[in-house]
Structure 1
Amino acid sequence: MATHSEILSQCFPNMDTELLQYVNGILEGGTEDFSSSEDLYDAIGEMLQEVAEDKSDDEIKRICGELMKAISLNEDGGSVENGGMVLLDAPVQLGEVVQKQNDVDKDVNIWILQKDSSSVVDKKKLEKAEAKLKAKQEKRSLKEDTKPGVSLGAEASASQVIDRKESRLDSAGGKSQDIRIEDFDIAFGDKVLLTGANLNLVFGRRYGLVGRNGLGKTTMLRLLSTGELRIPSHIRILHVEQEVEGDDTLALDSVLECDELRAKLLKEEKEISEKIQATSPGSTDSSLSARLTQVYAKLEDIEADKAPSRASVILAGLGFSPEMQAQKTREFSGGWRMRLALARALFSKPDLLLLDEPTNMLDLKAIFWLETYLQGWPTTLLCVSHDRNFLNSITTDVIHLHSKKLDHYKGDFETFVKTKTEKLKNQQREYEAQQREREHVQAFIDRFRYNANRAALVQSKIKLLERMPDIKPVEKETEVILRFPDLQEKLSPPILQLDEVQFHYTKDKPIFKCIDVSAGLESRICIVGENGTGKTTLLKILLGELSPVKGIRHVHRNLKIGYFSQHHVDQLDMDMTSLELMASRFKGKATEVYRHALGGFGVSGDLALRSVASLSGGQKSRVAFSIMCMSNPNYLILDEPTNHLDMETIEALGKALNNFKGGVILVSHDERLIRMICKELWVCGNGTVKRMDGGFDEYKKLLEAEFMLQ
């Protein structure tokens, strides 16, 4: 029997090439899309009638029946015998059929074909046909997802419309470095994160992806890196998400390994050189010498001799000293291995670099270096960050995730804020103006609805209402409000003081040689310094968790310190709800007390009844803040509190700390938060803690001067 393509060509010789390709593309979906010839007729019948006006409706239905048989036989791989029976070429292995069906059930991706260009067929009818196909796809997908024994759980899934023209260009070897993903959806379990979204990334641009916690920014990066969201196959993607595995590889060598071409050429150069040395003089194979010359030329082209110095510069910028660069990767902590993963990504220069909160593991000096380095990034960058100043420094474009959509803005972060604010104002003005016009027109209709002399005019007004565009009111995001408890009593100074304090873990490596610092209830102190200079150790001395080797720690007898550290978030019981967690830590209180404490940090309503494991990183931090404040502290010591918080929550945290009547000592790398609350700056380094009179601006100038000297 003829194939569906041959049937179309025979029955519709005047069909233009583009429409023929489009209909063939629909039929290639096979019995997955159509269960009967009636289904097939519903999808393409109107298009076929457009190009064959001489054929009756019954004739078109008959042709659809033949097409249905053709695509069914094409899938079965057999031929037609008596009575339309199919004679199979080989026995069917039922086990393989079941396995194939199981594979289909597990596949959560929905690839939907889209026409690649216009045709002579009425566009509205084309769109109607596409809508029917899409509805069938979604209906079938829903059935598969709800089959017994198949559970999506909390797994991320994506579906997208595939542009057939771009798909053909990609398969034909098209080398465009731009990325365009149209009309895609993302879900996490049963929660829809994005629907009908569009992502356009132009090669060489640096994009900042922003939005509230829990909306799907990290999920989208992961789906891009794993290929769940399909992009051109020739584009190399690197997602900095997991730390480097520790082994005996040196840190510098770990970075150099990323250049696979260089490693391959060096290996080949070594092998050829060994073969040449193993042969006696005068009997060397001339082909070996020729190949060795080619390898040397390629190594020179890629500047292989400069690679170690380039890798060393990147590592140094991220805080690796020369001694650390010569250490084995297994000797580093998790935070330093994450830095190593970032160094490898920067060195390898993928076509698309995906960064998710890259500043979380960096100190201020490394952040300033990374800002400068990324400003000259040669390929495409997509970065998620809560650090407003960092984003403002590196971005050329901003992508805003909100209301399950992606909005694209040109310019840096500050430009985005201004443009978005103006856009929302205009949208609200247009909505209000349209509402006034609607009310005016509706009042006319209601007044003259039953007036025969005005019937035609009333009808025109009704049509006017129907033609009006549907302008939506601005959806206001809920304001984030954090609230620290009020002080129970005022304390007279001195509150907290260190006099001539010395400290070391081992005698040969002193951390602090002599510290003289003091803090009061009005203090807003930020501690800065490179990683490894003792910032966290200083906090533990102030808390009393570590005792000075020499010197004295003075503390007010009624001082109650609330301490927040990132490990407090990591140590929360993930199986409990927030309410259960509070009740287990502070027994014997009424439920309203726990809810009030959680509500002060935005963990209210059903959110308090969800398991901690299901909360986002920012929500877990809020739970940790609530636990910290249950004892009504009058002094707060916070170690990197902004990790995993979105920009709005960081802004709310700054306001809450300014409103808090007690003292605050903060270790942070977030420049905006430091500027919001800091009245005093302590700089750790060289075994001392010094108060910097010029504040953060003076410290930043100091770091910039160091960069100039490097």
Structure 2
Amino acid sequence: MIQAKNLSKHFGAQELFSNVSFQLGPRERVGLVGRNGSGKSTLFKLILGELSADGGEISIPKGYRLGALEQHIHFTKPTVLEECTQVLNPEDFKEHEAEKILFGLGFSEPDLARDPKSFSGGYQIRINLTKVLLQSPDLLLLDEPTNYLDIVSMRWLKSFLKNFPGEIMLITHDREFMDDVVTHTMGLHRQQLKKIKGDTAKFYEQILQDEEMYEKTRENLDKKRKEMEAFIERFKAKASKAAQAQSRVKALEKMSSMDKLADVDSLGFKFRFVECPGKQIAEVKHLSFHYEGKEENLFHNLSFPINREDRIGIIGKNGKGKSTLLNIIGGYLTPVTGKVSFHPSAQIGHFGQTNINRLNMENTIAEEIQQENNDLSISSVRNICGTMMFEGDLAKKKIKVLSGGERARVLLGKILAKPANLLLLDEPTNHLDMESIESLTEEIGNFPGAVVIVTHSEIMLKNLATKLVIFHNGNAEFFNGTYDDFLEKIGWESEETKPKVETKKLSEKEIKQKRAELTIERAKQTKPIKEEIERLEGEITKNEDLLKRINNELEKATLANDTAKLTDYAHAVGKLNHMIDELFEKLTNSNENLEFIQAKYDKELDALS
């Protein structure tokens, strides 16, 4: 159990939190929430010992192991599998565990033999995530583990964390993911910490009730104070009431004061809409695309309309072409075949990583937003800056000094400044906190124009998407239905096994041949493991027999009071017990490996039935 007492932390003049305390109980999975900048990641660093608190202390039991998702990339092994398994003890045979986790996080079998440095930054973070999950620490500290995951990998990770045998502290902007995993929610709010049993909805409901109670108490206190002040002012000069007035003066001096709760900064979204008279704002016709030097298309012959009020979600695994499609629609890339036709009145607002990289580093925030719409007054530009939490002189900061999250907010500000009837949004929630995501989701829902959005947030897809473009089976296809319709009719399982489409039915002869091949392959893979299990069982039996004989000799030496023999036999017993324990551990790992391989082939054989 971890305990924190009276923790305080500040950076310069900014106080993150003061005198906060909490404890983490057995098997608790705690979601840590709070606005961006409230101190969530700082609290993680305090627990890990990477930062020191200004006050208070954190107690961690001796031998209690912490595991944290490392954002820093440092690889030393030539393959993904070797990089991941190096965190295990040499005698542990848990390669299959590493493979299970890597497959769950979106790696393919050929990927396991690739150089980990050859992967994109998102996949390199997944390798780090695999390493920490493999170590099976007592406490997992996960800071935004879903940032670089696609929906399939997020669903796998969610299941893994729900079954994790230790404790978890989780920071994520994905509210649905958090609610599905956690047993408790702990939040930093107004420099204080509160922990409740339950999900984020229950937590924020409790915060709201607490603040409503505070305000009612403060208002009643103010009302009472004003009544007392009025009585004093009215009767202080009257001899008959002087004593009562003086009594109220003393009571007023003792009365505590309660400050009005300050407004909490939040992002407010309001898109500028320009009317489009046509029913169809754009049409995607027979699109195909591949990058230079690659022969295989990311997608081919893709067609779909974008109607005036459509909400189209683009979904699929990472690296399949979702952002590429959005960039083609936005005009940043040229398709190999096909085209995108627009209504003459179409006006596009585009949020994506490509656009963030195109921000002018020498511009101030205000200048960058002004460039998007020269018709805006300075006051309007300042209002948008304030909406994006760049109030006052903060709007004069240059783009080059901003963090990635701040630049994303500038780009959102540019979209708010530009009149549009078609929004193209590529993961717009990555750098936002939960409250801002909810505000953005609501505003997208209210936008009178069309929206095409790439997102891994299932809650956004369920709330917004009325149509989908699905990247799977080596192509992209248009699906005229909601995300719930997709889950019911197609589902993500098709990504991991085989597509749910009509396939050629195998003949009885072909099935028999396939079963025979799988049986031979299974025997080939399991034979050395079975031999190892047999050898280990023999070693254990032999050593247990030897231990029994030495224990008998030890009893004789004890009766004879032979000190020299007692010492030798006791040493031999200790050594044998240690050896037997090691053999049992290796036997357990080999049995687990055998079960994993057998289950894999059983599943394939069952599919042929």
TM-score, normalization by structure 1? 0.63
Specify whether residues 311 and 430 from structure 1 end up closer, same or farther in structure 2 by C-alpha distance, changes over 3 A only.
same
* Aligned match of 1:391: 178
Task: Determine whether 1:503 maps to 2:289.
Answer: yes
Contact map agreement 2:270 2:416 (CA 8 A) in 1? no
Task: Determine whether 1:331 maps to 2:154.
Answer: no
Contact map agreement 1:496 1:554 (CA 8 A) in 2? yes
Aligned partner letter, 1:242: Q
Q: Partners in 1 of 2:475 and 2:58 — Cα distance? A: 52
Q: CA deviation at 1:621?
A: 1.8
Contact map agreement 2:298 2:321 (CA 8 A) in 1? yes
Q: Partners in 2 of 1:222 and 1:463 — Cα distance? A: 48
Query: Helix, strand or coil: the match of 1:231?
Result: strand
Q: Partners in 2 of 1:453 and 1:630 — Cα distance? A: 67
Aligned match for 2:87, one of 258, 264, 270: 258
Aligned match for 1:651, one of 421, 431, 438: 438
Contact map agreement 2:276 2:345 (CA 8 A) in 1? no
Q: After the TM superposition, which residues 65-80 of structure 1 pair with which residues of structure 2 at under 5 Å, given as runs?
A: none
Aligned match for 2:202, one of 389, 412, 415: 415
Task: Determine whether 1:437 maps to 2:224.
Answer: yes
Task: Determine whether 1:238 maps to 2:67.
Answer: yes
Q: Partners in 1 of 2:147 and 2:168 — Cα distance? A: 18
**1:363-399 CA deviation, whole Å, 9 max, x = no partner?**
1111122122111223332222111111111122222
Aligned match for 1:523, one of 306, 310, 316: 310
Contact map agreement 1:502 1:549 (CA 8 A) in 2? yes
Aligned match for 2:78, one of 249, 268, 274: 249
Task: Determine whether 1:533 maps to 2:320.
Answer: yes
Q: Partners in 2 of 1:634 and 1:383 — Cα distance? A: 38
> Which has the higher mean CA deviation after the structures are superposed, 249-258 or 625-634?
625-634
Aligned partner letter, 2:15: V
Contact map agreement 1:183 1:198 (CA 8 A) in 2? yes
Aligned match for 2:143, one of 356, 360, 375: 356
Specify whether residues 242 and 458 from structure 1 end up closer, same or farther in structure 2 by C-alpha distance, changes over 3 A only.
same
Specify whether residues 419 and 191 from structure 1 end up closer, same or farther in structure 2 by C-alpha distance, changes over 3 A only.
closer
Aligned partner letter, 1:221: F
Aligned match for 2:9, one of 174, 180, 185: 185
Contact map agreement 2:351 2:411 (CA 8 A) in 1? yes
> Which has the higher mean CA deviation after the structures are superposed, 339-348 or 604-613?
604-613
Query: Helix, strand or coil: the match of 2:147?
Result: helix
Q: Which runs of 5+ in 2 are unaligned?
A: 498-602, 604-609
Aligned partner letter, 1:477: V
**1:637-668 CA deviation, whole Å, 9 max, x = no partner?**
11111011112221222233233333211001
Q: CA deviation at 1:527?
A: 0.7
**RCO higher in 1 or 2 (8 Å CA, sep ≥ 6)?**
2
Kindly report the root-mean-square deviation, in angstroms, between the aligned alpha carbons of the 2 structures.
3.2
* Aligned match of 2:527: none
Contact map agreement 2:272 2:418 (CA 8 A) in 1? no
Q: Partners in 2 of 1:219 and 1:593 — Cα distance? A: 35
* Aligned match of 1:207: 30
Q: Partners in 1 of 2:84 and 2:433 — Cα distance? A: 31
Aligned partner letter, 1:228: S
Contact map agreement 2:143 2:170 (CA 8 A) in 1? yes
Q: After the TM superposition, which residues 167-186 of structure 1 pair with which residues of structure 2 at under 5 Å, given as runs?
A: 177-186=1-10
Q: CA deviation at 1:623?
A: 0.8
* Aligned match of 2:343: 556
Query: Helix, strand or coil: the match of 1:361?
Result: coil
**1:546-580 CA deviation, whole Å, 9 max, x = no partner?**
33333343333443322211343355456653124
Specify whether residues 475 and 221 from structure 1 end up closer, same or farther in structure 2 by C-alpha distance, changes over 3 A only.
same
Query: Helix, strand or coil: the match of 2:478?
Result: strand
Q: CA deviation at 1:451?
A: 5.0
Q: CA deviation at 1:528?
A: 0.8
Q: CA deviation at 1:308?
A: 1.4
Query: Helix, strand or coil: the match of 2:117?
Result: helix
**1:574-604 CA deviation, whole Å, 9 max, x = no partner?**
6653124446788898644643554564544
Contact map agreement 1:617 1:645 (CA 8 A) in 2? no
Q: Using the aligned pairs only, state the percent identity.
A: 32
* Aligned match of 1:483: 270
Aligned partner letter, 1:219: T
> Which has the higher mean CA deviation after the structures are superposed, 444-453 or 189-198?
444-453
Query: Helix, strand or coil: the match of 1:495?
Result: strand
Specify whether residues 614 and 462 from structure 1 end up closer, same or farther in structure 2 by C-alpha distance, changes over 3 A only.
farther
Task: Determine whether 1:636 maps to 2:423.
Answer: yes
Contact map agreement 1:184 1:198 (CA 8 A) in 2? no
Q: CA deviation at 1:212?
A: 1.6
Q: CA deviation at 1:228?
A: 2.0
Contact map agreement 1:603 1:619 (CA 8 A) in 2? no
Q: Partners in 1 of 2:149 and 2:139 — Cα distance? A: 22
Query: Helix, strand or coil: the match of 1:359?
Result: coil
Q: Partners in 2 of 1:353 and 1:567 — Cα distance? A: 34
Q: CA deviation at 1:522?
A: 1.3
Query: Helix, strand or coil: the match of 1:645?
Result: coil
Q: Partners in 2 of 1:179 and 1:457 — Cα distance? A: 51
Q: Partners in 2 of 1:545 and 1:606 — Cα distance? A: 33
Q: Partners in 2 of 1:324 and 1:494 — Cα distance? A: 42
**1:4-38 CA deviation, whole Å, 9 max, x = no partner?**
xxxxxxxxxxxxxxxxxxxxxxxxxxxxxxxxxxx
Aligned match for 1:340, one of 100, 124, 127: 127
Specify whether residues 330 and 704 from structure 1 end up closer, same or farther in structure 2 by C-alpha distance, changes over 3 A only.
closer
Q: Partners in 2 of 1:381 and 1:667 — Cα distance? A: 29
Q: CA deviation at 1:508?
A: 4.6
Specify whether residues 537 and 620 from structure 1 end up closer, same or farther in structure 2 by C-alpha distance, changes over 3 A only.
closer
Query: Helix, strand or coil: the match of 1:319?
Result: coil
Query: Helix, strand or coil: the match of 1:358?
Result: coil
Q: Partners in 1 of 2:401 and 2:230 — Cα distance? A: 50
* Aligned match of 1:313: 100
Q: Partners in 2 of 1:314 and 1:252 — Cα distance? A: 11
Contact map agreement 1:182 1:197 (CA 8 A) in 2? yes
Aligned partner letter, 1:258: V
Specify whether residues 610 and 182 from structure 1 end up closer, same or farther in structure 2 by C-alpha distance, changes over 3 A only.
same
Q: CA deviation at 1:706?
A: 6.0
Contact map agreement 1:186 1:220 (CA 8 A) in 2? no
* Aligned match of 1:71: none
Aligned partner letter, 1:484: F
Specify whether residues 590 and 480 from structure 1 end up closer, same or farther in structure 2 by C-alpha distance, changes over 3 A only.
closer
> Which has the higher mean CA deviation after the structures are superposed, 391-400 or 457-466?
457-466
Query: Helix, strand or coil: the match of 1:638?
Result: strand
Contact map agreement 2:266 2:389 (CA 8 A) in 1? no
Specify whether residues 451 and 476 from structure 1 end up closer, same or farther in structure 2 by C-alpha distance, changes over 3 A only.
same
**1:194-239 CA deviation, whole Å, 9 max, x = no partner?**
2333343334322222122222222333343314246346443333
Q: CA deviation at 1:686?
A: 1.6
Q: Which runs of 5+ in 1 are unaligned?
A: 1-176, 267-303
* Aligned match of 2:587: none
Aligned match for 2:158, one of 371, 377, 380: 371
**1:262-309 CA deviation, whole Å, 9 max, x = no partner?**
12xx3xxxxxxxxxxxxxxxxxxxxxxxxxxxxxxxxxxxxx33x212
Aligned partner letter, 2:193: L
Contact map agreement 1:246 1:332 (CA 8 A) in 2? no
Specify whether residues 201 and 463 from structure 1 end up closer, same or farther in structure 2 by C-alpha distance, changes over 3 A only.
farther
Q: CA deviation at 1:693?
A: 4.3
Contact map agreement 1:601 1:622 (CA 8 A) in 2? yes
Question: How many aligned positions are there?
Answer: 490
Q: Partners in 2 of 1:460 and 1:411 — Cα distance? A: 48
Q: Partners in 1 of 2:491 and 2:3 — Cα distance? A: 37
Q: CA deviation at 1:333?
A: 0.9
